[in-house]
Chain A
Amino acid sequence: KNEVEQSPQNLTAQEGEFITINCSYSVGISALHWLQQHPGGGIVSLFMLSSGKKKHGRLIATINIQEKHSSLHITASHPRDSAVYICAVTPFGNEKLTFGTGTRLTIIP
């Protein structure tokens, strides 16, 4: 079983819809990262959080440390949001990023 599990693996939605991507992890962590990867490979770090909630534009990330769960929300989704979203964690005592397998999001105009 992977230490970081994401759901869904694939998600297709209409433009304007509210999107939620989930991440569950099985180890104690010091931080959780949400990353975005567009076709071509480049990765952008969207959020790094260890508690609570962060917001940047139409993107919101939340984390529940007790439940070992995080969600990434996109409001008013747009075709340019189409990408692979990857959750990664920094386990306690092991300063190496451990990645989920990613969620492929496609927003249809």
Chain B
Amino acid sequence: KAGVTQTPRYLIKTRGQQVTLSCSPISGHRSVSWYQQTPGQGLQFLFEYFSETQRNKGNFPGRFSGRQFSNSRSEMNVSTLELGDSALYLCASSLDGTGYNQPQHFGDGTRLSIL
């Protein structure tokens, strides 16, 4: 069974640009969550999607957005990139989205660098 797949693995952008990251969950998983990891702030929750609806949202500005498709694949978008957006972005999927009392299966992440 394939794991969680994130693309691309690495990305370099400049300030002011926008970026879209992709996450394909494990087959059959309907919940997809996104996280940002930086050396200063550690891991932080961005948002969670279940059945194409955003169900939970962390404390990030509106420049960070996401969506989920009918096949459970998810994308996150960051607009007007800032230097502080440089981070490892991780997505995780779980089976049926009954909250976080389920093991989270993580992808390898997308490392985003802003110049």
**Which A residues are within 8 Å of any B CB, using their own CB?**
30-31, 33, 35, 40-45, 48, 50, 86, 88, 90, 95-102
Contact = CB atoms under 8 A, between A and B. Distances in A.
A96 B101 contact: no
Interface stretch (B13-21, B38-46, B64-72, B73-81): B38-46
Contacts of B53: none
B99 A30 contact: yes
A45 B103 contact: yes
B58 interface: yes
Contacts of B107: 42
Contacts of A45: 103-106
Main secondary structure of the interface of B (DSSP, over half): strand
Q: What band does the interface of chain B fall in when counting residues whose beta carbon is under 8 Å from A?
A: 20 to 34
Contact of A96 (B58, B88, B103): B58
A30 B80 CA distance: 37
State the majority secondary structure of interface residues on A.
Answer: strand
B42 A99 contact: yes
Contacts of A90: 99-101
A98 B27 CA distance: 26
Q: Which 10 A-B pairs have the closest CB atoms?
A: A43-B106, A90-B100, A99-B43, A42-B108, A41-B109, A31-B101, A96-B45, A45-B103, A95-B99, A101-B42
Given A41-B37, A97-B43, A99-B44, 11 more contacts: A31-B100, A31-B101, A33-B100, A33-B104, A40-B108, A41-B90, A41-B111, A42-B107, A48-B103, A95-B55, A95-B99
Interface string B83-115: 000001010100000011111111111010000
Nearest to B44: A99
Contacts, number: 61
Interface string B9-53: 000000000000000000000000101010000111100100000
Given A86-B43, A96-B48, A43 B90 contact: yes
Given A88-B43, A96-B45, A101-B42, A42 B109 contact: yes
